[in-house]
Amino acid sequence: MIGVGDPLPGVVYPSAEALAHYIKVGALTEETLVGAMMDTFAARRERLAIVSATSSCTYGELDAQSDKLAAGLLDLGLKPLDRALFQIDNCIEFIVAFTACLKAGIIPVATISAHREAEIKAIGRHVEARCHFVQGDHRHDLPTFAGKMRDEIPSMEHIVVCRGESRPGTESMENLIASQDLTEARLKIEAILRDPYQVAVFQLSGGSTGIPKVIPRFQNEYLYNFRAFAERLDYQPSDCLFTAAPLMHNAGVVVVLGPALVVGCRIAVTHQTDAESLATVLRECKPTWFPMRGPLMQRLHGVRRSLGDSSHIKGVVSTNAARASEELFNASGVQYFGMTEGLIMISSTQASADTRHKTVGTPISPWDEVRLLKPGTEEDVRAGEIGELAVRGPYTIRGYYNSPERDRAVFTSDGFYRSEDLLSAHETDIGTCYRFEGRIKDVVDRAGEKFSCQEVEDALRSSAAVADVAVVPIPDPIYGERACAIVIVQESHGPVDLAYLAGHLDKIGLAKFKWPERLDIVEEFPLTAAGKIDKEAIKLLLRSSSGELRAENGSSASQKQMTMEN
């Protein structure tokens, strides 16, 4: 029978008709994600699975450790379809715990170590989590924090601590593994019914405001997502994949963790994102493919010489920094667009530099259906115009977990998911590619004239003076909002002020009302836990009583100009 056997309340499953279609065309199969991973583990038992600057783990060791932990979790009383929160940074223990949950049928929930009371309490209650994995040696006292959260989440029963000593009322991940006989553990795992149509992971939406929505990702569709991405970039078992962003995030799972565990690549890990730690991993582990956001690339400029030989790098994946990655690593830069709800687009190393630098390529699946709509309507825009991305496909959600009101707002009448992302389509040397134009809500509303912050950022990045930039709206008593540009200046460039930027924008022909009217120069941006520029933090700091933006290192930004009349 096509379709889930034991539906989880609150989950919107794809219809039997849709599943039958994607099975017929060959996108989805009757395989489970965890089954495919276990096949890889068995086939590559002696090969390295996880590497860091100081330790490593083979696929055989990962298989055995996760088998034992899965059995230990079941012995605690946890059962398939129970939900587990995760607050562990990128490390071997995280991958063992994540894999163990999949083997036990427990659903990992993509919380991260940076989440605090508001997020953990709300998400834990929403998904009715029964288990909370935390990192014992984190700079924050996560075991104590988890104990407090257990009192706030009625369903919570178990706290599992890795990389540190357990506390009263918690379980040691190391002890759970040590308590199990491997042969018996595998018998317990083999007894678990595996359903290819069932939820594998609960991911979280990437919204900038409010508590994230919960996104169910299913066994066979997530497996297809990983395989399609790996095929697009031609991942091979000889490759080493690395990300400095949380592996638990959908981007980390889809670009690195999932494809690696299905293909059999090595995964390089570090939980530190300072320049020296990143340089050490790049130099010692020699990743061949890795996603790297612009702000993190900027940190590496100061240690460029210590990165060593880069001839092994096949490509660097970014959202908008292909040109910068090519300059830094002397390797092909490819840009991608991805949503936790499903659709992934990515360009190709075989595309022209213009296509790689200016577009996010094409969808990874031939069965991804893409429409660009006039915001607020179901009317398609004309060719070349900017529109809101709406998508339907084999790995795109049909609904958020237990959120019917949100579902009514984000799906079209014929089932396309409305993303609130603005894109435009362009003919290139590799066919129709898409350009990311910003978010509907990432806009400045200046006296009724609304424009995308992304558009202005892209225009400013084309200046030789600008290493990276974030544009945010700031309140104005006359115009409502004005644009503020937060800029990191290229090291080799002289002073930059608003007049200089205005001259550049004038030269490239950007409408004058879009020009920034305030400029702050910083050495680095405040970042989210995922390594993205934290625009909400920037807005908060700009609106503080001092009026000064403070960089992440605590130094005051140089406030070059407050306003410039357009």
- Chosen domain end from 280, 304, 331: 331
Secondary structure (3-state) at 386 = coil
Distances (CA, A) of 98 to 111, 225, 248, 521, 529: 12, 18, 9, 41, 19
Is the pLDDT higher at 39 or at 562?
Answer: 39
Question: Counting Cβ atoms within 10 Å, is residue 263 exposed (0-12), middle (13-18) or buried (19+)?
Answer: buried
Query: What is 324-360 written as a DSSP string?
Result: HHHHHHSS-EEEEEE-TTS-EEE--TTS-HHHHHH--
**446 & 326 share domain:** no
Question: Which of 310, 331, 352 marks a domain boundary?
Answer: 331
Mean pLDDT on 259-286: 94
C-alpha span between 70 and 173 (Å, rounded): 10
Instruction: Enter the tokens of residue 561.
Output: 């100009």
Q: Does 324 share its domain with 461?
A: no
142 part of a folded domain: yes
| Summary mean pLDDT of the chain | 91
72 and 215 in a single domain? The answer is: yes
Instruction: Specify if 415 maps to a domain.
Output: no
- pLDDT reported for residue 440: 83
Flag whether pLDDT at 564 surpasses 90: no
CATH of the domain at 476: 3.30.300.30
User: In 3-state terms, what secondary structure has residue 401?
Assistant: coil
Overall domain count for the chain: 2
Answer yes or no: is 304 within a domain.
Answer: yes
Within-domain flag for 291 = yes
What CATH number corresponds to the domain at position 69?
A: 3.40.50.12780
Domain check: are 282 and 156 in the same one?
yes
DSSP label at residue 380 = B
Report the pLDDT averaged over residues 509-519. Answer: 88
Q: Which residues contact 529 (CB under 8 A, 6 or more apart)?
A: 112, 113, 114, 115, 246
This prediction's pTM: 0.85
Q: Hey, what amino acid is at 314?
A: K
Residue 73, domain extent: 32-331
Band (320; pLDDT cuts 50, 70, 90) = confident
Each residue's pLDDT tens digit, 431-462: 999 999 888 888 888 876 778 898 899 899 99
- Asked whether the beta carbons of 169 and 147 are under 8 A apart, the reply is yes
In the structure, what pLDDT confidence band is assigned to residue 531 with cuts at 50, 70 and 90? confident
* Among 282, 315, 331, residue at a domain's last position: 331
Give 23-77 pLDDT, tens digit per residue.
999 999 999 999 999 999 999 999 999 999 899 999 999 999 999 999 999 999 9
Please report which helix (H) or strand (E) contains residue 488, including its range.
Answer: strand 480-489
Domain for residue 447, yes or no?
Answer: yes
Specify if 344 maps to a domain.
Answer: no
Q: Please report where in the chains the tokens 């562990």 appear, as a residue.
A: 88
pLDDT at 488 over 60: yes
Q: Are residues 315 and 451 in the same domain?
A: no
Looking at the predicted structure, is the pLDDT value of residue 476 above 90?
no
Question: Considering the domain boundaries, does residue 303 fall inside one?
Answer: yes
- 410: its two tokens: 């984000």
Residue 287 lies in a domain: yes
